[in-house]
Amino acid sequence: MASDGSTVDVPLSEGLEHTQQEWEQATAAVLRKSRRLSDDAADSDVWSTLATTTLDGIVVTPLGTPALSADVPDGGLPGQAPFTRGAVASRELDGWDVRAWFTDPDPERTARDVVTDLENGVNSLWISAGTGGVPLDALGRVLEPVFLDLAPVVLDAPFEPVEAAQALVDVIGDKGVDPAPGTSLGADPIGAAFRGRGVTDLDVAVQVARLAQTVGARGITVDATAVHDAGASDVQELAYSLGAGVTYLRLLVDAGLDVDTAAGLIDFRYAATDEQFPTIAKFRAARRLWNRVAELSGVTSAAAGQVQHGVTSRPMMARYDPYVNMLRTTVASFAAGVGGATSVTVLPFDEPLGLPEPFSRRIARNTSSLLISESHVAAVTDPAGGSHAVEKLTDDLARAAWALFGEIDATDSLDAALSLVRGKVEQTVSERALAIAKRRRPITGVSEFPNLDEQLPERRPYAEPLEVHRYAGEFEALRDEPTRQPVFLASMGPIAAHTARATFAANLLAAGGVKTVVAGATDGPDDVLTAYDAAGKPSVVCLVGNDAAYEQWGADLVTALRGAGATYVILAGKADVGADTTIAMGLDALAFLRSIREELGA
């Protein structure tokens, strides 16, 4: 804008330059207005106020600057070592491979789902086969209409890995085609060992790899979602994948394969969460790390580009208010695709409830289709590349994961390595659980904004369900057993005076399966007692009002409520009115809810 009020066109090549101090000043003004920064705080405090720290202790800054990424190694070009910017220079499908998941043991249903998905945007199939999944003797029936030279098939058969691999090889042979690139027999005995389900004999990996060679497919999948599903952090997931990948590489070389051939038989599976930037950085860091392993192992650059299958995180999904899972998986699939995953599976939003239905399957496949074809997020290879913040986060993740991989690789046995990883994961689970309990990591529909009257959709159960550490699990356990008695909200004063704290208290209690009854607008203890009588005199009450009301008649109200039958009094806020406990932002919500449920005789 010129001084005379007219607009001025500035060429993009010139741009407008602003200093870091200007940004700090403008940001500080906003934070002061929202009371997140005190009036006497320095403008530069905005960095610490807005920065976040991951569970791995990595600081994510609110703004990327050239200084932030000054020491970050060059990521190269897409399709070239170190492959940070992509395993390939361009994607054949003008986007990532949209991969659908099939686990229904009913062959007829699965056969119909396969055709429907392939006709409506899906490019490849991820099939749980054998125990708990598609019966092995039905694999030919399920794949009968599939052009296997066009649509890759990836197996997940932890209980019968060799038999499932042979079944797919037979189907490929019967069709007389070369399998589409990306086809994998998917053996992963190390993942089975970590999960504690399936065949754990490492010789299985060699057997399946040799079968894969007969048809020109990949044979081994390093499934890092095994540790993610147990609660692992991003760094732990990356380090585990390197440890498992190196173990398989050594195993195949010891079996007589050259290192290039061995590397070409391995692909990787990672979880994608709704933490957008860490997920983008994780996929980028994974390629860089595997390239380093390849360099040290003597793998040529042609075989060093990591083939990645991104799967939207199971732990992040919630059973309650499951439709919110659509939002979570949209962000997660966006992050995996932008991060350069070769293929992406969006798990249906009802995955925590049981076997998906046609509607949820449609939403899952359309999520990727819309991102690719309508939002065009895959039009540019590695769109996050060059972002100072993303480059720095990628580097931080890679360095931390390489250090942890060093610890894992230094162990003297596979059991010792897995034990080390389990110990690290348990620490992360504890740290995350505390953050969730205190609602520093809110879970919409569960720990925040729960709906106690919702009717969950019914789904058929899994034949062999995975054991998953769901982040919402502890809150959901409380919701599974709602209390018989409500908490009475003793609202003080007009609605405008108490609605903020009443809403806070009601949402908090609902997160633990506790309903509330609110007094409404009141003008003193007598009005509250009348409403208390009408509510049936619940044993637990919670005062909700403003500080002025607490000071004027809070103590009198507490005395009156106790006299009327209340055995436990909560106060929303921090006033001293003789309550048994107080609630405010930052409390351990789980601990509070468990104690209140005991008071209610839940």
Output the pLDDT for position 169.
Answer: 98
Output the pLDDT for position 10.
Answer: 62
What CA–CA distance (Å, rounded) separates 342 from 98? 9
The CATH H-level (homologous superfamily) assignment of domain 481-599 is Cobalamin-binding domain (3.40.50.280)
Output the pLDDT for position 94.
Answer: 82
Output the pLDDT for position 14.
Answer: 64
Report yes or no: 255 and 206 within 8 Å, Cβ to Cβ: yes
Output the pLDDT for position 91.
Answer: 82
What CA–CA distance (Å, rounded) separates 423 from 31? 39
Q: Give the three-class secondary structure for 200.
A: coil
Which strand (E) or helix (H) includes residue 261?
helix 259-263
What CA–CA distance (Å, rounded) separates 185 from 92? 22
Output the pLDDT for position 93.
Answer: 77
Q: Which pTM value belongs to this model? A: 0.94
* In the block, residue with structure tokens 């249903």: 109
- Side-chain-side CA neighbours of 444 within 13 Å: the count stands at 8
CATH 3.20.20.240 location in the chain: 97-406
What CA–CA distance (Å, rounded) separates 163 from 153? 16
Output the pLDDT for position 2.
Answer: 53
Which among 129, 140, 124 has a CA at the least distance from the CA of 174? Answer: 140
> Block means of pLDDT (10 residues each) for the chain, length 602 residues?
60 72 93 92 93 94 91 92 92 90 97 97 97 97 97 98 98 97 97 97 98 98 98 98 98 97 97 97 98 95 90 98 98 98 98 97 97 93 93 97 98 97 98 96 96 95 96 97 96 96 97 97 96 96 97 96 97 95 95 96 75
Output the pLDDT for position 5.
Answer: 60
Report yes or no: 90 and 78 within 8 Å, Cβ to Cβ: yes
CATH 3.40.50.280 location in the chain: 481-599
Cβ-based neighbours of 499, under 8 Å, separated by 6 or more: none
The CATH H-level (homologous superfamily) assignment of domain 97-406 is Methylmalonyl-CoA mutase (3.20.20.240)
